[in-house]
Amino acid sequence: MSADAQDHLPLSPATLHVLLALSGGELHGYGIMLEAARQSGGQYKIGPGTLYDNLKKLLAAGLVEEAHPEDPETGARRTFRITTLGLAVLSAETDRLTGVLRHARRSIRLAERRS
């Protein structure tokens, strides 16, 4: 795991969902919103404002890049894709969350035994 990836941890829920949505391939803004909702079973919906706040940060940090600009002639929307660094950050965040989950489960089990 690179030091660069660690610099960006922990990720906010919105950032995590955006990166997770883009890990499946290039998407436009509304596609990211739909994918984030699908991944969370409809429990976490990102609005356009939150989405582009996060995309702005991700673009600036180099975790996401523009895949294709908008094409007014064909009506194709602007699309985004995750970068190699973005994948590394997503992987690092997943590892971190896995550790958190493991710790949480162990804590819950111990608490259940005590009670």
Partner 1 sequence: MNDFRRGIYHLLLRLHPPSFRVEFARDMALDFEDAANTYSFTRLLLDASASLVRQWWIEISPTRPNHLSETRPSLLNGRYIMVHHAGFTPLQLGLGFIASSTQLLLCMLALNTAPEHPIRFSSGSASFSSTPAPTDTAPATRSSGDESSDLFFQPSKNTAAFTGLGSPQADQLKPELLLFHPPGPYPSYEVATIKPITPEIAGSLVRLPPGGTLSPLSIRRYIMNAYGAIYAAQIIGGPDWLNKDAYRIDGKIPEDLAAALQKMTRDQRIDHIRMMQQSLLANRFLVRAHFETRVLPVYELVPAKGGVKFTPVAAPPEQKPDNAPVSAHANGQLLPGTIMSTPKTDGGWVLNGRAIKMSLLVRVIAGNITDRPIVDHTGFTGCFDITNLSWAPLTAASTDASDAPSLVGALKDQLGLAIVPAKTPIEVLVIDSIERPTAN
- Using CB under 8 A, count the residues that bind partner 1: 33
**Angstrom distance (rounded) from CA 37 to CA 3:** 31
Which of 38, 68, 78, 103 touches partner 1 by CB under 8 A? 78
Check binding of 99 to partner 1 (CB under 8 A).
Answer: no
Compare residues 7 and 95 and give the one whose CB is closer to partner 1. Answer: 7
Range in contact with partner 1 (rule: CB under 8 A) among 25-33, 97-105, 106-114: 25-33
Range in contact with partner 1 (rule: CB under 8 A) among 45-53, 98-106, 107-115: 45-53
Q: Which residue has the tokens 């489960």?
A: 105
Q: At a CB cut-off of 8 Å and minimum separation 6, what does 36 contact?
A: 14, 17, 18, 20, 21, 44, 45, 46
**Angstrom distance (rounded) from CA 68 to CA 59:** 14
Rounded alpha-carbon distances, angstroms, from residue 88 to 33, 84, 115: 22, 6, 40
For binding to partner 1 (CB under 8 A), which residues are involved? 7-12, 14-15, 28-30, 33, 45, 47-58, 60-62, 70, 72-73, 77-78
